[in-house]
């Protein structure tokens, strides 16, 4: 059944009884200094994301420090090659030529124009090294700003060997190696995202703000059901059924939440309304029958 996402504010006389939905998980009464449910004993505070162990973050900080040192060493070596009147004899080897760019092996040297570019890339290496050291400190302090800036820093680090390859100032081996390190660091940063989500929120059964349509309320209820906050889900699904009473899935979802809260009669009534809207749905009928059986045996 198609749902129309029409902006439709809740009716003015709409009221959701908060008392039975005190705890967003089980609906029990909440009281105490830290808000604690008297039925399930949970503290009514949910961490949005679990913070992983600090050991993984410590290794990431060390890895960023290593990248910063590597950028500084690369800039230092590049500066020495620029200032050298000629390449040392030991560098005239095929393996070394894969590391050092072919521009350094020109008979006339790298030339004035390439020298300017090489000097600029050297300074970029030094700047990148400093930024990586600062990023390592920011990551150690769990700065969200530094976390997102670190991705752009990795892009800057990858741009240096690209410029070196285009100008012949960097060999293929260090460029490919650096690309691999950048990809590895980006993947590591992505895996460490929960570390930088430390905000907490005290939950109750009040409706979330900013929801406008019945689809908004239904989707928000789905979110709370995913994390098993059934009372919070029921509060939003109840609004969805009142804003759009012809949606069978809304009534079925409300019945499921009420069943988890052990409000058997209310759950059966919501399931009856869902079956009345789509009487041919065998899954809904089976769900309704299971609620009826549960109510009779309780």
Please report which confidence band the pLDDT of residue 90 belongs to, taking 50, 70 and 90 as the band edges.
Answer: low
Specify the pTM.
Answer: 0.45
Determine the Cα–Cα distance for residues 30 and 200; give it in Å rounded to an integer: 18
C-alpha closest to that of 153 among 176, 177, 136, 170: 136
Q: Where are the domains of the chain?
A: 19-48+205-297, 54-196
Query: Of residues 139 and 166, which shows the higher confidence score?
Result: 139
19-48+205-297 CATH fold: 1.25.40
Q: What is the per-residue pLDDT for 50?
A: 40
Determine the Cα–Cα distance for residues 267 and 170; give it in Å rounded to an integer: 69
Asked whether residue 229 carries a pLDDT value surpassing 90, the answer given is no
Task: Over range 4-29, report the average pLDDT.
Answer: 51
Determine the Cα–Cα distance for residues 30 and 42; give it in Å rounded to an integer: 9
Q: 3-class DSSP state for residue 180?
A: helix
Query: Of residues 231 and 46, which shows the higher confidence score?
Result: 231
Q: What is the per-residue pLDDT for 203?
A: 57
C-alpha closest to that of 81 among 94, 97, 95, 68: 97
Q: What is the per-residue pLDDT for 240?
A: 93
Please report which confidence band the pLDDT of residue 118 belongs to, taking 50, 70 and 90 as the band edges.
Answer: confident
Q: Which two tokens stand for residue 222?
A: 């789905």
Query: Of residues 105 and 119, which shows the higher confidence score?
Result: 119
Under 8 Å between Cβ of 75 and 47: no
Asked whether residue 52 carries a pLDDT value surpassing 60, the answer given is no
Per-residue pLDDT tens digits for 128-138: 899 999 999 99
**Burial class of 187 by CB neighbour count within 10 A (0 to 12, 13 to 18, 19+):** exposed
Indicate the average pLDDT of the chain.
Answer: 77
CB within 8 Å of 14: residues ≥ 6 apart? 239, 242
CB within 8 Å of 139: residues ≥ 6 apart? 57, 60, 61, 64, 146, 147, 150
27-42-199 Cα angle (round to 5): 105
Query: Of residues 274 and 191, which shows the higher confidence score?
Result: 274
Share of the chain above pLDDT 90, in %: 24
Per-residue pLDDT tens digits for 143-160: 888 989 999 999 988 888
Conformational region of residue 197, where left means phi above 0, alpha means psi within -120 to 50, and beta covers everything else: beta
Under 8 Å between Cβ of 171 and 99: yes
C-alpha closest to that of 27 among 44, 47, 49: 44
């Amino acid at each position: 059944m198609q749902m129309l996402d029409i902006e439709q504010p809740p009716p003015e006389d709409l009221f959701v009884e908060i008392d039975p939905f005190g705890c967003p998980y089980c609906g029990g009464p909440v009281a105490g200094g830290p808000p604690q449910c008297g039925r399930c004993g949970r503290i009514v505070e949910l961490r949005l994301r679990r913070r992983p162990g600090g050991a993984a973050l410590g290794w990431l900080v060390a890895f960023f420090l290593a990248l910063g040192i590597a950028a500084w060493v690369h800039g230092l070596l590049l500066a020495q090659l620029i200032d050298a009147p000629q390449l040392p004899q030991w560098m005239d080897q095929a393996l070394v030529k894969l590391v050092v760019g072919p521009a350094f092996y020109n008979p006339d040297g790298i030339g004035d124009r390439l020298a300017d570019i090489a000097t600029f890339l050297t300074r970029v290496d030094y700047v990148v090294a400093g930024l990586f050291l600062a990023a390592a400190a920011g990551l150690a302090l769990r700065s969200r700003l530094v976390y997102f800036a670190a991705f752009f820093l990795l892009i800057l680090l990858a741009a240096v060997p690209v410029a070196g390859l285009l100008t012949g100032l960097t060999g293929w081996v260090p460029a490919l190696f650096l690309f691999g390190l950048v990809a590895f660091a980006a993947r590591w940063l992505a895996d460490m995202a929960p570390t930088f989500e430390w905000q907490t929120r005290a939950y109750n059964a009040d409706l979330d703000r900013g929801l406008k349509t019945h689809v908004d309320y239904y989707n928000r209820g789905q979110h709370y059901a995913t994390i098993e906050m059934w009372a919070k889900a029921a509060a939003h699904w109840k609004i969805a059924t009142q804003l759009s009473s012809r949606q069978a899935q809304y009534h079925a979802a409300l019945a499921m939440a009420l069943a988890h809260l052990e409000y058997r009669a209310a759950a059966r009534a919501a399931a009856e309304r869902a079956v009345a809207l789509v009487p041919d749905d065998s899954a809904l009928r089976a769900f309704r029958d299971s609620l009826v059986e549960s109510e009779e045996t309780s």
